Amino acid sequence: MADSFIDIIDSFLITLEKERNFSLHTIKAYKNDLTRFNLFLNQGKSRIKFKEINRNDIRRFLADEYENEYISKTVARRLATIKSFFKYLVKVELIENNVSIHIHSPKVPKNLPNFIDKNLMDVLMTSPPLDTLIGVRDRAVLELFYSTGVRLSELVNINIGDFHIDKKLVQVIGKGNKERMIPYGKTAESSIENYLKMRNLSFKPVFARSPLFVNSSEKRISKRTIQRRMNNYIKLVADGKSVGPHLLRHTFATHLLDNGADIRAVKDLLGHSSLSSTQIYTHVSIDKLKKDYTQAHPHG
């Protein structure tokens, strides 16, 4: 194996793709982080070897990123990438000591996720016109997003056969190729049935391998198309907020917790690997509780 820093980066990225099934988007982010690190290390000097990198080099790089006005979240991600890289170097026995292990990640302020108020959900869901195939499709997309809380990437990859109609469950493949089953409601099922009917399809096994959502050419719909279409509808009820499809995922989680759902159940429904990823939604519910208390309690 070559011992130049840039060659080892390439080997590391191949490992992420082939062995750990990282998405191309994630691999691209890792490559960008390590490329920036490499460029920083080689400013005004000959190519540095990975064995020559020490803890101070990493700290100086992070400080430089702050000076370039990158936010804490970005700098924290850069460090996480570097730590993964050095962990890989130890694993393949190219170095003995992980010089990144004792470098603390900067604190990242957690932004509360936006969500759509329950009173506006009917307005949103009835936005797509039902006199066109695209409108019926968009209604089904909105209902499935809100009914299941799936990610955009999960939704576009759903096939008709992924629905277990008898159990009212849909199977999706999430991050790290992890499969999970999510319940869905009657309204979502009805909207999807209407959409399939307009395409002369149904939930019958013969159509199992067909994509659920398609474009005008009957090809699997792209994430970009879904994003653009959903943004247009969500802007009607969420002016000034982050209006991507992810807002429906936030709304799904928040409404469940507001109605008393157990946070561990919501964690599994969302496909989060840890409870800490889900706990950000409880802050929204606590804020709502405080508001309700202030409005209702005589001494609030």
Q: 91: Cβ–Cβ under 8 A, 6 or more apart, which residues?
A: none
Q: Which of 30, 184, 233, 281 is catalytic?
A: 281
Q: Which of 36, 55, 180, 246 is catalytic?
A: 246
Q: Does residue 288 have an active-site annotation? A: no
Q: Does residue 47 have an active-site annotation? A: no
Q: Does residue 49 have an active-site annotation? A: no
Q: Which of 83, 164, 175, 199 is catalytic?
A: 175
**Pair type for strands 179-183 and 163-164:** unpaired
What angle in degrees, to the nearest 10, is found between the helix axes of 246-258 and 275-296?
A: 60
Which tokens in the block code for residue 241?
Answer: 């907020």
Cite the DSSP H helix spans in 167-262: 186-198, 223-234, 246-258
| 177 Cα distance to chain centroid | 13
Which tokens in the block code for residue 154?
Answer: 């999960």
Q: Does residue 246 have an active-site annotation? A: yes
What angle in degrees, to the nearest 10, is found between the helix axes of 72-91 and 5-18?
A: 90
Q: Which of 78, 139, 151, 267 is catalytic?
A: 151
Residue matched to tokens 């191309």:
24
Burial of 47 (C-beta count, 10 Å sphere; 0-12/13-18/19+): exposed
Q: Does residue 281 have an active-site annotation? A: yes
Q: Which of 31, 36, 199, 272 is catalytic?
A: 272
Q: Does residue 255 have an active-site annotation? A: no
Q: Which of 77, 249, 250, 255 is catalytic?
A: 249
Q: Which residues are catalytic?
A: 151, 175, 246, 249, 272, 281
